[in-house]
A = this chain, B = another copy of it.
Amino acid sequence: MAKIVIIGAGAMGSALTVPLIQNGNVVNLWGTELDNKIIDDLKQGKPHPKHKYKLPSEVNTFYECELEKAMDGTDLIIMAITSDALGKIFKRVVPFLHKGAIVGSVSKGFEHNNKGKIVILPELLKEILPEKLKEEISFVVIGGPCKAIEVLWKSPTSVTYSSKNIVYANYMKKLLNTDVYNVETNNDVIGTEVCAAMKNAYAVSLGMAEGLKKRNGFLHNNTKSALFTFAVSEMCLLVTALGGNYKSAIGLPGMGDLEVTGEAGRNRILGEVIGEGMKASTAMEKMRTEGITVEGYAAIKFGYNLAKQLEVTGKLTLEELHLLNGLYKILYEDIPCYEIIKDLLSKCTGFYK
């Protein structure tokens, strides 16, 4: 049993209260300034407005102005903030961190660090820590196929917790692992994070294969499976070039999360409309107007630029990443999708070179 604070009361943050409470932990759920309505509803015993589902009654809820109280005496801090706001919110959390605290993160994606270099999120968080805490705080990142709502429903789920020192991943596993929320642990922070970000990019291509049905008048399931396979092999290349373990790419964080992300959601929808024939710039314009953020869109550019960064080091050539290259051309240069996909499949070689 431990005392945990979840920073961010969105879908994933609030879902994690379920296994935590099931294991008898004390759980504080803190909402950002965007979560006031959520906290209002939860305090009144209403369902969570995002997923229309009641949280366990034992969860303690805190408004944005109550951060210090929410953090008080907690052993584990779980950051459940979208990647673009993660740094900003973490800066507010830092003053209340004590030596030895463990920070978990469900945020997924890349960001630019203060030198403009593309980094994975735990690096960004570490940079924010004051010097005296840099070696005193341990980070654990969460990856793997996990739709938040299904954690609330208690659908059997398998996820990955990664920490440079596996002891901390195992500690967090002890607090969250239940009969239906299964946690595997490893020390491949890089692999888990890169996959968490890049699976969104590659899921866009799976959507495209679905969309081609409308454009061409027939199914493209063969195309989709080929894209799926090459997506995983490219995640392997990226992960290993960055010093991670390829097993993460062919495991829950890579292949597993790509599978669930390709099933539904905004990345897939973006791909679908482009596959159907809409120009990428038009599709993105439309989504922006509707206030929809598509993580895969940003991830394609981050991935593309990251590959360029890696090219300089000689660990990878951008040319090897036919699918990522193709996605960049479709999404950022408005080149028609079908022609690119047809062409790139003729070049992809997967794991056999």
Q: Which residues of A contact B (CB under 8 A)?
A: 144-147, 149-151, 153, 155-158, 160, 179-180, 182, 184-186, 212, 216, 218-226, 228-230, 232-233, 247, 250-252, 255-257, 259-260, 263-264, 341-342, 345-346, 348-352
**Contact assessment for A224 and B260 in the assembled complex, using a CB-CB cutoff below 8 Å:** yes
Alpha-carbon distance A218/B224, docked complex (angstroms): 26
- Residues of B contacting A222 with CB < 8 Å? 145-147, 150-151, 155-158, 260
**Sample of 8 A–B contacts (CB below 8 Å):** A153-B216, A155-B219, A156-B223, A157-B222, A224-B259, A224-B260, A232-B255, A252-B350
**Contact assessment for A158 and B229 in the assembled complex, using a CB-CB cutoff below 8 Å:** yes
Closest B residue by C-beta to A260: B225
**Contact assessment for B250 and A351 in the assembled complex, using a CB-CB cutoff below 8 Å:** yes
From B225, B342, B349, B352, give the contact of A179 (CB < 8 A): B342
From B155, B221, B225, B259, give the contact of A220 (CB < 8 A): B155
**Contact assessment for B186 and A226 in the assembled complex, using a CB-CB cutoff below 8 Å:** no
**Contact assessment for A228 and B352 in the assembled complex, using a CB-CB cutoff below 8 Å:** no
Alpha-carbon distance A300/B184, docked complex (angstroms): 26
From B218, B226, B255, B263, give the contact of A252 (CB < 8 A): B226
- Residues of B contacting A252 with CB < 8 Å? 225-226, 229, 350
From B144, B151, B233, B250, give the contact of A232 (CB < 8 A): B250
* Contact A147 B221, CB 8 Å, known A252-B226, A349-B184: yes
Alpha-carbon distance A160/B247, docked complex (angstroms): 23
- Residues of B contacting A218 with CB < 8 Å? 150, 153, 155
Closest B residue by C-beta to A264: B221
Alpha-carbon distance A310/B166, docked complex (angstroms): 33
- Residues of B contacting A352 with CB < 8 Å? 160, 184-186, 247, 251
Alpha-carbon distance A351/B263, docked complex (angstroms): 23
Closest B residue by C-beta to A263: B221
- Residues of B contacting A156 with CB < 8 Å? 220, 222-223, 226, 341-342, 345
Residue of A147, A229, A255 ringed by the most chain B CB atoms within 10 A: A229
Closest B residue by C-beta to A157: B222
Shortest beta-carbon distance from A49 to chain B in Å: 19
Alpha-carbon distance A185/B345, docked complex (angstroms): 14
Closest B residue by C-beta to A350: B251
Alpha-carbon distance A184/B353, docked complex (angstroms): 9
Extra A-B contacts (8), CB below 8 Å, given A224-B259, A224-B260, A229-B259: A182-B345, A182-B348, A221-B263, A225-B252, A247-B350, A250-B250, A250-B351, A252-B350
Closest B residue by C-beta to A261: B225
- Residues of B contacting A260 with CB < 8 Å? 221-222, 224-225
- Residues of B contacting A221 with CB < 8 Å? 145, 147, 150, 155, 260, 263-264
- Residues of B contacting A153 with CB < 8 Å? 216, 218-219
**Contact assessment for B350 and A225 in the assembled complex, using a CB-CB cutoff below 8 Å:** no
